[in-house]
Amino acid sequence: MPELPDVEVFKRYLDATSLHQRIGRARVTSEKILGRISRRNLERRLRGRQLRSSRRHGKYLFVDLDRGGWLVLHFGMTGFLRYFKHEPNDLQHVRMQLDFANGYHLAYVCQRLLGLVDLADDPEAFIKGRELGIDALSPQLDLESFRRLLAGRRGTIKSALMNQHVLAGIGNIYSDEILFQARVYPKASPRRLGDRVIEDLFKQRRTALETAIRCRVDPERFPDSYLLPHRDTDERCPRCDANLKREKISGRTCHYCPRCQRRR
DNA sequence: ACATTGACCTGAGAGC
DNA sequence: TGCTCTCAGGTCAATG
């Protein structure tokens, strides 16, 4: 689930539900998701605090704690947040929970334990430490820098788009979507793409990510012209009706239209 | 230095 | 029913 658009939706959810309330208690229920910090330390550092604001960079969410420090959340393949008063019966795999003074709770849920919960002094330093690239929706990212980022890359355009050191936030689903919208063959070499194609990719990156956010990443709300609602259902291209192709590229299952996205 | 592969986890679904 | 196998939108360390 959690690529940039998903994490942006989580951010808005957290902002709408969980800011400016005192945390009565924090509970870590699986240590496997923790980064450098210990369970005891994290629970102690969260108790009595409030969440002031949040920031997203790529697939990471940073939450500002009053009296210092940032809670770092990454959602792996299966993570999400849930805010509730009474825990739903069907809610499994809660790995951390904040109990607010108002009687509500915020759960960090992560079935496959590939996510991360940590504490950082400063998001900028954290981003630097992980060597993350510029956020894929950053207003600072202009066409020229996008071109430069792709310029010297070997390998496929798909893996360049998914590389978090190049651009932060795009994963398997949205790299497929961007390539589909721009009609680019996923195994094309970034070095051989023409200026017009790079420009298309640059534009579609923004449009596709923003569209996904606007649709709250709900496949039912996506425009029918998008790949996402078709990739795991009818597997037909919404543009030309060809059967979509599935192929492992750089270790991930890629979906694309063999007719619209031809090798050039 | 860069790109690709396998390991890390758990659970759902397919096939037998 | 129950077993085994494969696969899943993440990253990182090890390998080529």
pLDDT digits (tens, 9 = 90+) for A63-98: 999 999 999 999 999 999 999 999 998 899 999 999
Residues A44-54: tens digit of each pLDDT = 999 999 999 99
pLDDT class of A232 with cuts at 50, 70, 90: confident
* Each residue's pLDDT tens digit, A15-39: 999 999 999 999 999 999 999 999 9
Q: How far is CA A207 from CA A59, A154, A171, A253, A257, in A?
A: 18, 26, 16, 23, 19
Closest CA to A22 of A40, A46, A53: A46
Whether A88 CB is under 7 Å from strand B: no
Distance between CA atoms of residues A187 and A166, nearest Å: 17
The CA angle A53-A56-A57, to the nearest 5 degrees, is 145
Does the global pTM surpass 0.85? yes
The reply to whether A253 Cβ lies less than 7 angstroms from strand C is yes
A52, two tokens: 């002031």
- What gap in Å lies between CA A200 and CA A33, rounded to an integer? 38
Q: Please identify which residue in the block is written with the tokens 């430069």.
A: A148
Examine the pLDDT at A203 and tell me if it is beyond 80: yes
Query: Residue A218 — very low, low, confident or very high, per pLDDT cuts 50/70/90?
Result: very high
Per DSSP, what are the bridge partners of residue A83? A106
Q: Distance, angstroms, CA A174 to C1' B6?
A: 24
* pLDDT digits 0-9 by tens, A164-201: 999 999 999 999 999 999 999 999 999 999 999 999 99
A216-235 residues near strand B (Cβ < 7 Å): none
A191 CB contact with strand B at below 7 Å: no
Q: Which residue lies nearest B10, CA-to-C1' measured?
A: A112
Which amino acid residue lies closest to nucleotide C9, measuring CA to C1'?
A1
A113 touches strand B (CB under 7 A): yes
Whole-Å CA distances, A111 to A9, A26, A77, A145, A242 = 19, 19, 9, 37, 35
Residue A1 has pLDDT above 80, yes or no: no
Question: Which active-site residues of A does the annotation give?
Answer: 2-3, 59, 252
Nucleotide nearest to A171 (CA to C1'): C9
Q: What is the pLDDT of residue A152?
A: 86
> E strands along chain A, which residues?
23-28, 51-57, 60-65, 70-74, 79-84, 94-100, 105-110, 116-120, 134-135, 167-168, 245-249, 252-256
For the CA of A78 and the C1' of C3, the distance in angstroms is 26
